[in-house]
Amino acid sequence: MISENNIHLGKILIVDDQEANVILLERVLRIAGYVSITRTTDPSEVVALHVNNHYDLILLDLQMPGMDGFQVMQALKELALDDYLPILVITAQPDHKLRALKAGARDFITKPFDLTEVQIRVHNMLEVRLLQQQTKQLYEQVVAEQKVSERLLLNVLPQAIAQRLKGRPEVTVDNFTEVIADSFADVTVLFADIVNFSKFSEGVSPEVLVDVLNDIFTRFDSIADKRGLEKIKTIGDAYMAAAGLPLPAKDHAIRAANMALDMMDAMEQFNQQRHHQLKVRIGISTGSVVAGVIGKRKFLYDLWGDVVNTASRMESHGVAGRIQVTDATQRWLKEMFSLEARGTIEVKGKGEMHTWFLNERREIH
């Protein structure tokens, strides 16, 4: 609701070639409580005045020498300062009223002036104008908040999943459980862990601890974006990503291998820049998974399947500063990467497994 005080603060321009008319209209409006009034007898000044002042209402005489009111309205339209043309025309010619409304005027007052009519029409015009401005501001605020919400959603969920959720009107805060679940036959999962980070954290302040993790994981995030992996989550000092979902990719294992090697390089660069001696341990496995969104409020895109557990074991049973992969992953990588057989190791919950170390990219001749 627009208050009377705000209506009386509306900016008004009076345009009439007759000085007596502009003086009379200004006096009537000031008596009615309007405080921001400009007047001119020169219609050629209107555009420049409106550019500088952004009037909420222009009282415009139609019959003026040199430049009539219709030409003024056309010039204001071409100015395109606002979609709304705040024109209240002044005319003594009945046939001009319809033409003026078609030209973009919002209303009219008739000469000779009925002062009560002038006050009512000015009040109504300003109220409509201020309501229109208020509605536009609210709309822009809603759009801005929607963009923020979308950015936040994309920070939580993969873009493809976020787009699917936006297209499902039945999804609400109260029925968000398991609205999306997909199966993927070929995915490569990567786990990384900062070795002995718990011991490192004992000797630094909370601020330093968070800063170090944020720096490292931000570097990892950039690599994931570059190499085409989806970051799934971080748990403490562990980082999880996957290639081949939510959009399938034939080169999923190659993407994961490239990311793992880049992560090793990123850790070396971090240690040189921050004067630390931290190491990362990485495990990779390839296979089928189920992926989906769970939770009602703090929802999460997550993965389930044996390959997830195996990738985690490849990391936890790995070696600091090295990348351990399964036989399944090695078969995808052997043509493009140099791998070193580690042999058979005992893996918790899996028994004996033959694994490999990913060393470097092969030179392609």
Residues in the chain: 365
State which amino acid sits at residue 215.
Answer: D
DSSP string computed for 115-127: HHHHHHHHHHHHH
Burial of 73 (0-12, 13-18, 19+ CB in 10 A): buried
Burial 82-111 (b: 16+ CB within 10 A, else e): eeeebbbbbbeeeebbeebeebbbbbbbbe
The set of residues, in sequence order, having a beta carbon less than 8 Å from that of 40 and lying 6+ positions away, is 13, 14, 15, 22, 46, 49
Of 18, 20, 69, the C-alpha closest to 46 is: 69
DSSP string computed for 323-359: EEEEHHHHHHHTTTEEEEEEEEEEETTTEEEEEEEEE
Q: Output the six-digit token pair for 296.
A: 């009602």
Q: Based on the residue annotation, tell me whether 348 is a catalytic residue of this protein.
A: yes
Q: Based on the residue annotation, tell me whether 199 is a catalytic residue of this protein.
A: no
Q: Count the alpha carbons within 13 Å of 241 in the hemisphere toward its beta carbon.
A: 27
Query: Which of the following is catalytic: 11, 279, 313, 322?
Result: 313
Strands 323-326 and 280-294: parallel
Burial 156-189 (b: 16+ CB within 10 A, else e): ebbeebbebeeeeeeeeeeebeebbeeebebbbb
Query: Which of the following is catalytic: 348, 350, 361, 362?
Result: 348
Measure CA of the first residue to CA of the last residue in the chain; give whole Å: 74
Burial of 43 (0-12, 13-18, 19+ CB in 10 A): buried
10-to-7, 15, 58 alpha-carbon distances in Å? 5, 16, 11
The catalytic residues are: 313, 348
